[in-house]
Chain A
Amino acid sequence: MSDANAAAGTVLLDPTGELNPTAIPKSTRPESLAGLTVGLLDISKPRGNVFLDQLESHLTALDATVMRFMKPTFTKPAPVDLRHEIASQCDAVIEALAD
């Protein structure tokens, strides 16, 4: 047995998913929201609409155009079609999370 082998440590099998995710660069943050379309995504939690109504009035006061969207359930990621709809129609999106 070679010296290299004698000095080697335990070999384990990797229990993880071994992901090598592609890094997707973020879009540049707009300087101002005036004239932009901002999407508000309601995740269907109780009173999420109350919070988003408040946001809508603030954003409108900043001269942004607001579009409202809703996920079918908060328990699963937003459907792909909804994400595409938001991405193709909005310049920015605000998502109301948690409770």
Chain B
Amino acid sequence: MTGDNSAFDNSAQAVFSQRDSSSPSLGQNVNMSTTQLSPTAAPIRPVLPDGLVVFVKRDCATCELVSPVLADLRDRADSVTVYTQDDPSFPDNLSDVIDDTTLEMSWHHDVETVPTVIRVIDGAEVERTVGWKRTAWEEVTSVVGLGTDLPDQRPGCGSLSVDPDRAAALAAAFGEAVLRSRRVELASLEDDIEAMFDRGWSDGLPLVPPTEQRVMAMLAGTTRDPQEVITLAPPDLVECTVEKIAINAVMAGCKPEYLPVVIAAVEASCTDEFNMHGALCTTMGVGPIVVVNGPIRDRIGMNYGINAFGQGNRANSTIGRALQLVIRNVGGGRPGEIDRATQGQPGKLGMCFAEDEAGTPWESLAVDQGMDPTDSAVTVFCGEAPRIIVDQQSRTPESLTNLLAEALLATCSPRMIYGIDAMLVLSPEHMARFVDAGWSKAKFREEILARLQVQTDTVLSGHNGIDEGLPVEFGGAELPKFRPGGLLLAHAGGPAGLFSSVFGGWVSGAKGSIPVTKKIGS
């Protein structure tokens, strides 16, 4: 699969070569110098000249205010070097101002505010002050009587080198070579989007080009080291690092704050219990369904209301997609190759939703799976597309439970007994039937499981002229539709609509797939 790229690939592992970047994701064009970094060396931090070093920008009232002070210092101090971040002709009253519009000096020396005055002795910073405060400036510069006609102090302004819009570009330009993935250099006339389709990276929809800047920005969404190996991605059992997940998350269209959720979903799906390898190879149309619980849902703006399983919400749509792209690109699992699904299902593009926790007193899915209610967690369930269960007439919890059980008995087929798990997602209107009657989740679970016992005689192979079914040796018994623990319960959806949904599962238990819940890290 990587052989296709050989004609285009840049063989250098971690060379940062900067060009004028007019990426729309940045606030402004950042004029960057060409900086080459070797894969193994730390970035070279430029040394400050000895004496006093001042960082200013024109677009700062305080810098404007102190420009006469800088002229004064030029006369009275041994050496005063001035770096300007935006306009090399500022301050107008000084000559020999150094252009730091690339922000290289400012970035390397952690300038967060302008003006910043640093005293440097033998190439090392001794002390600094930020903004304008006469007493502080006199102490740092060892010159008294500065700016006597100025107010005693004035706060500074934000340094351009810490502007959030530029952070990713600057980190990519000047930071340590944190990115280890091979660089793929496209031809100048090559269309970025088409190029990614051509290389087989796509799931059928356009991808966001994973440039160094975008990936650096994405990596800011986690505290984990980019080279930390999260799992071995099946089917090729490739080491899947945080960096690889970030690259695919960029392509999926994720925001950096979604990355911890994607990482947790990858971690959960690639466990032996979940058995992603099996989920890929199977002819059944199943895929990992990601359910998110906890405070992170609102923090990143997930949807657990109207159209919760559908389109329209960036977090829901891209988190599920990022997981599938990791399996495709890092793990090597692709339709027609290892993926042999007969018909598949649309959720294999990506299926992720959040649970509505506030709308019910019931425990969340994550809590059922052993998490604390305050944890943010993902649960991955190997399942098909959701199937609607319609009940618009039941007004009692008993009647609704009867209907739900009747519908659940048909999951996958009425003849499928004990072999598959399922996840029932109640809508708010259906949930209200139970909550209004004072049913706890435990009570509901007990009631519905009691209605999911199957008389095996009715589902034997050959019964009713149907070959599919349990072997005749199983006759005369009673079996539950689902294995113990095989029915997951969750809650999501808009405020109106007397419909719930069931996601049928795949082969259940240790021989197939077991739902896995993982805590979402930082």
Contacts and interface: CB of A to CB of B under 8 A. Distances in A.
Interface in B183-210: 183-190, 192, 195-196, 201, 209-210
Contacts of A73: 507, 511-512
A19 B238 contact: yes
Interface stretch (A4-12, A31-39, A55-63): A4-12
A12 B210 contact: yes
A interface residue count range (under 10 / 10 to 19 / 20 to 34 / 35 or more):
20 to 34
Interface stretch (B86-94, B138-146, B289-297, B327-335): B327-335
Contacts of B173: none
A65 to B, nearest CB: 31
A8 B329 contact: no
A15 B282 contact: no
Nearest to B330: A17
A20 interface: yes
B445 interface: no
Chain A: interface secondary structure?
loop
Contacts of B507: 73, 75
B511 A75 contact: yes
A7 B20 CA distance: 12
B182 interface: yes
A80 interface: no
A72 B511 contact: yes
B472 to A, nearest CB: 14
Contacts of A72: 511
Nearest to A5: B19
A75 B512 contact: yes
A6 B21 CA distance: 11
B515 to A, nearest CB: 15
A76 B210 CA distance: 33
A11 B184 contact: yes
A72 B186 CA distance: 47
Interface in A72-98: 72-73, 75-77, 98
Contacts of A13: 179, 181-184, 210-212, 215, 243, 247
Contacts of A9: 185-190
10 shortest A-B CB distances, which residue pairs?
A75-B278, A17-B238, A9-B186, A73-B511, A14-B182, A9-B188, A15-B329, A13-B181, A15-B247, A12-B184
Interface of A: 1-2, 5-20, 72-73, 75-77, 98-99
